[in-house]
Amino acid sequence: MLKGKNIILGICGSIACYKSAILTRLLIKAGANVKVVMTKDATHFIGPLTLSTLSKNPVYTEYFNSTTGEWNNHVDLALWANYIVIAPASANTMAKFANGLCDNILTAVYLSAKCPIFLAPAMDLDMWKHPSTQANIQKLLSYGNSIIQPGHGELASGLVGEGRMAEPEEIFHFLQSQTESGLPLKGKKALVTAGPTYEAIDPVRFIGNHSSGKMGFAIAEELQRQGAEVHLVTGPTSLKVSNKWINRRDVVSAQEMLSEVERIFPECDITVMSAAVADYKPKQVAENKIKKDEQEFNIELVKTTDILSSLGRTKKEGQVLVGFALETNNERENALKKLEKKNLDFIVLNSLNDKGAGFQSDTNKITIIDKYQTEETFDLKSKEEVAKDICSKILAFIK
């Protein structure tokens, strides 16, 4: 959910600053872009060099660098951010935030921000419980900020009680859950198939096709970015899933893909069948490698189970089922037949006659035709952009 998001991590003076390094690392591993803004007191607890190294960005501690003459524009920083996380948030800085005081770059960034702000307080238990602190927290909440509640435990003073900053993992998951809550596919379960299938002839050879799986992988990534719980069933491919939240299952044959899909499909709200499943397989698979003794050699083939048709027959109301049609002739006519015959909500048509479309390439050119005969043709785009177009159409069918 945080991949590609711009996050400002504000750090105030507190022994809990050491946890900020761990939080920075978690955000970077999740694919976020992180810039750190520190108060001067925070630099006494942890060095800017550590956080600059972890975030791969300069650390901001003042408006103006007298050595270089560089001015750090707090307005640009605030507008850059998708989210601002203050961890640790000291009682002093929260009081400034609550009352509009602005005497350092962090408070200036806060007052310039237009994005969601999350504060993770850290202080001794008596400071946390003091009526002025609690009043400031109520003010901050009334301004639309979110408070990540401190934990109960041993504090720097030696006392035990509430006021300990939440652990980096807790802050990370809180931020993730908050960002997920507004996503259009939050709470939906999606199934995507991708890649080819390989149908064995003997222990060495197989019948397959040139599908790379790139389109299916791009769709899985985009569905997950929009909040869905995604299950990706893929045939043999060298591609890797960059998003660890996608549940990947690897299969080889059409029968293996059928088994996985039938297991997952009944619980899915969205199913996108972009895999290039083999239509035929050898009737008999040789136990040993076939020798090239004959000038001619025949293989008897039998049909594989049509997975998409099988799903179309069992589809329940409310489930969205999407198919693909890669054609070389009579493209629209063939796609319409497949759309109706297989009980699809819409079909994604592409043609090998279009330059830059089809297998292996990083681009695709598609036409989407839905069950209401609405048709939309898109320009040649990257497969990541095509995935966005397909997911936009899915959203129109989600109830």
Mind telling me the catalytic residues?
Answer: 209
Distance CA 84, CA 147 (A): 12
Alpha-carbon separation of residue 308 from 193, 255, 276, 313 (angstroms): 11, 13, 11, 9
Tokens matching residue 84? 């601002």
Kindly give the pairing relationship between strand 229-234 and strand 247-250: parallel
Among the listed residues 24, 51, 116, the one whose alpha carbon sits nearest the alpha carbon of residue 78:
116
What do you get for the CA distance between the two ends of the chain, in Å? 22
The C-alpha angle 11, 14, 20, rounded to 5 degrees, equals 45
